[in-house]
């Protein structure tokens, strides 16, 4: 893969209208996360109450699920490149599979059954994520990619806000059980699938000659800056425990189910509020600056979570975490499209998700083990310290110093 001739320089990116494909894919993510976040914040509550399982089980379930997804993302991204950029079919298949498996989590009678269903849900994520991210990059001019990915993350987080609010309202006022609320998540989920099927057209596919001959799928083929970034990202991911542990901490502090859902909504609303702005700043200031902000704030947030003793502190730290983390989400993905040749974007995003997945199982197990055998505070302090070290390595060893060419021929 080619090195990026450029990451954005200090000049503000021109303000332009986002491509229709980016907007539609953002709406697809909104409805999918609407469905997902009716369910996901209830998982630690189900484990701790109905299924009588602890933080170690939560760490194992989330770690295995994310690893399964990430291992598939390299294949799906590469396959979408081999198919001359025809990425939509994989995305549709992935969203469909997730929205079949996810509502069934409400029927799980044990944590191993939850592990199986959660893993199937993540198989769907593995099929769709790299091709979808490549579709966003394909449709967007280079100078706007931070904006595009920030916008996409904003709608993704906005869906999480809607889902958790609907779940809170349903549990608080409708009289529905946890199982019934989870089953109803199928409705917005299949709205996402329908919108993707109807609303996204692969206009670029016909313009790319076939067959496509790609470099070997080897680590050594990646550019040195990309390899360094991915290695540091993997270390950071080892510290980045699932956000569902924040809800488990709240449950341990005695916070009620409805309030936990409202907390989850507030956290995602905070991320949504800064995602688009953060993406625009990444286009203007450079990707590295925004990633460094996000990783440093993650470290501070988890160090603070290690000292939280009541729900007021939990709310304050969670909102701070969401505001700062949202700023860097677009930059983390936009930098991958900077490093990748246009014909290899799916593969590049596959490598990105694979490196995240390699760390997922040990990260979840380690965090859950420290929590179960030491304390929640020790687990959060460990993650905060390790993420601070990853942020330092990013700045000192893997900083994206090269600049995006003024002209990117696509």
Are the beta carbons of 80 and 134 closer than 8 angstroms? yes
Looking at the domain assignment, is residue 8 inside a domain? no
Tens digits of residue pLDDT in 251-295: 888 888 888 888 988 998 898 888 888 888 878 777 888 888 888
**Is it the case that residue 150 has pLDDT exceeding 80?**
yes
Residue 342 lies in a domain: yes
Q: How far is CA 366 from CA 39, 53, 328, 356, 374, in A?
A: 24, 16, 25, 15, 11
Return the SS3 of 396: helix
Evaluate whether residue 2 is within a structural domain. Answer: no
Q: For residues 326 and 318, is the Cβ–Cβ distance under 8 A?
A: no
Determine the Cα–Cα distance for residues 125 and 110; give it in Å rounded to an integer: 23
- 290-301 pLDDT per residue, tens: 888 888 989 999
Residue 283 is part of which domain span? Answer: 20-205+218-396
Place of tokens 């081999």: 82
The answer to whether residue 85 scores a pLDDT higher than 70 is no
pLDDT of residue 401 exceeding 80 = no
Report the CATH number that the domain containing residue 124 is assigned in CATH.
1.20.1250.20
- Could you tell me if residue 392 is inside a domain? yes
The yes-or-no verdict on residue 103 having pLDDT over 70 is: yes
pLDDT of residue 380: 93
Instruction: Please report the pLDDT score of residue 157 as a whole number.
Output: 83
**Which pLDDT band holds residue 217 (cuts at 50, 70, 90)?**
low
Helix (H, G, I), strand (E, B) or coil at 71: helix
User: Is 263 contained in some domain?
Assistant: yes
**What pairs with residue 403 in β-bridges?**
7
Does residue 138 lie within any of the structural domains?
yes
Average pLDDT for 78-84: 75
Say how many C-beta atoms besides its own lie within 10 A of residue 213's C-beta.
7
Neighbours of 259 (CB within 10 A): 16
Residue 63 lies in a domain: yes
Query: Averaged over 190-203, what is the pLDDT?
Result: 86
What pTM was estimated for this model as a whole?
0.70
The domain tally of the chain equals 1
* Residue matched to tokens 């596919």: 205
Would you say residue 1 lies in a domain? Answer: no
Between the alpha carbon of residue 34 and those of residues 5, 122, 190, 225, 268, the distances in Å are 38, 16, 11, 36, 11
Give the mean pLDDT of 12-16: 51
354, 222 contact by CB (below 8 A): no
Compare 183 and 288 and report the one with higher pLDDT. 183
């Amino acid at each position: 893969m080619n090195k990026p001739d450029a990451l954005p320089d200090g000049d503000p990116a021109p303000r332009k209208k986002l491509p229709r494909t980016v907007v539609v894919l953002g709406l697809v993510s909104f409805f999918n996360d609407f469905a997902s976040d009716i369910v996901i914040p209830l998982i630690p509550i189900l484990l701790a109450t109905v299924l009588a399982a602890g933080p170690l089980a939560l760490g194992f379930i989330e770690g295995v699920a994310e690893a399964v997804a990430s291992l598939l993302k390299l294949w799906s991204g590469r396959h979408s490149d081999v198919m001359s950029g025809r990425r939509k079919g994989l995305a549709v298949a992935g969203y469909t599979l997730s929205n079949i498996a996810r509502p069934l989590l409400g029927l799980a009678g044990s944590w191993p059954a939850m592990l199986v269903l959660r893993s199937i849900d993540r198989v769907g994520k593995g099929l769709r994520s790299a091709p979808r991210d490549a579709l966003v990059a394909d449709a967007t001019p280079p100078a706007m990619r931070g904006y595009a990915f920030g916008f996409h993350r904003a709608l993704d987080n906005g869906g999480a806000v809607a889902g958790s609010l609907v779940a809170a309202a349903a549990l608080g006022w409708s009289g529905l059980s946890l199982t019934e609320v989870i089953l109803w998540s199928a409705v917005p989920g299949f709205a996402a699938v329908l919108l993707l099927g109807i609303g996204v057209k692969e206009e670029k596919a016909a313009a790319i000659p076939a067959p496509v001959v790609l470099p070997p799928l080897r680590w050594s083929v990646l550019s040195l800056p990309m390899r360094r970034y991915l290695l540091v990202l993997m270390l950071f991911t080892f510290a980045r425990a699932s956000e569902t542990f924040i809800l488990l901490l709240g449950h341990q502090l005695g916070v009620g189910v409805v309030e936990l859902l409202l907390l989850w909504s507030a956290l995602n609303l905070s991320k949504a509020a800064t995602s688009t702005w953060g993406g625009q700043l990444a286009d203007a200031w450079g990707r590295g600056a925004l990633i460094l902000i996000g990783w440093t704030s993650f470290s501070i947030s988890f160090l603070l979570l290690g000292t939280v003793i009541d729900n007021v502190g939990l709310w304050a730290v969670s909102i701070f975490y969401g505001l700062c983390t949202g700023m860097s989400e677009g930059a983390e993905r936009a930098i991958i499209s900077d490093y990748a040749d246009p014909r290899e974007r799916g593969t590049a995003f596959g490598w990105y998700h694979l490196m995240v997945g390699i760390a997922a199982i040990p990260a979840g197990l380690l965090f859950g083990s420290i929590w179960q055998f030491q304390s929640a505070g020790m687990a959060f302090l460990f993650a905060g310290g390790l993420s601070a070290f990853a942020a330092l390595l990013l700045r000192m060893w893997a900083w994206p110093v090269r600049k995006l060419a003024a002209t990117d021929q696509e």
